[in-house]
């Protein structure tokens, strides 16, 4: 694993697909770095930081579940590098921009879920959203970052009043 991580951060593989470049490989790399943090040489962690920074700093699609993935990758970066202020900003952005009823991408007034403009995506991006957001609800419960009862109600309604009727 050490050889693979060293290769990954030294090679700095660049891809044009914003899904992978914008958040996916940062999420995967972040998981590995967190698990191996105490065993990694400091120079590897230092070389990995610019790669992890891309999830928050890369231009691209920042709506609906793509934003959640970017926030997740950035939270991993914040944990690894002790960036408390950014962690607060990331969590608040995820809560503020995702847990609203919208006519754009995200949760709709009929509790369907749209991604990539007005495409119905309860079973694709929306399904991942319905898996990931309750996970965050649980992990942030009883912390200063806890979701409000209104936030919980929106996610519950998406699942019970929206997706449930589509499956």
* pLDDT tens by residue, 60-83: 667 888 889 899 999 999 999 999
Give alpha helix (H) positions in 37-83: 42-57, 64-81
Six-digit token string for 120:
């119905």
pTM: 0.87
* pLDDT tens by residue, 24-34: 888 899 999 99
Block residue for tokens 């997740």: 72
- Output the pLDDT for position 14: 78
Tens of pLDDT along the chain (167 residues)? 999 999 989 998 777 766 666 678 888 999 999 999 999 999 999 999 999 998 887 666 678 888 898 999 999 999 999 999 999 999 999 988 888 899 999 999 999 999 988 899 999 999 999 999 999 999 999 999 999 999 999 999 999 999 999 97
Q: Give me the residues paired with residue 120 across strands.
A: 114
Question: With contact defined as beta carbons under 8 Å apart, do 122 and 73 qualify?
Answer: no
């Amino acid at each position: 694993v050490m050889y693979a991580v060293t290769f990954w951060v030294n090679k700095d593989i660049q891809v044009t697909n914003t899904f992978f470049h914008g958040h996916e490989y940062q999420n995967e790399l972040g998981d590995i770095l967190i698990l191996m943090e105490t065993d990694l040489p400091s120079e590897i962690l230092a070389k990995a930081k610019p790669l992890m920074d891309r999830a928050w700093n890369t231009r691209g699609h920042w709506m609906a579940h793509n934003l959640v993935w970017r926030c997740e990758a950035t939270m991993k970066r914040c944990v690894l590098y002790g960036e408390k202020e950014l962690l607060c900003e990331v969590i608040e952005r995820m809560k503020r921009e995702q847990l609203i009823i919208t006519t754009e991408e995200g949760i709709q007034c009929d509790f369907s879920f749209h991604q990539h403009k007005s495409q119905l995506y309860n079973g694709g991006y929306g399904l991942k959203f319905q898996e990931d957001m309750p996970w965050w609800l649980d992990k942030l419960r009883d912390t200063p970052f806890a979701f409000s009862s209104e936030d919980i109600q929106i996610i519950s309604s998406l699942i019970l009043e929206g997706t449930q009727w589509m499956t």
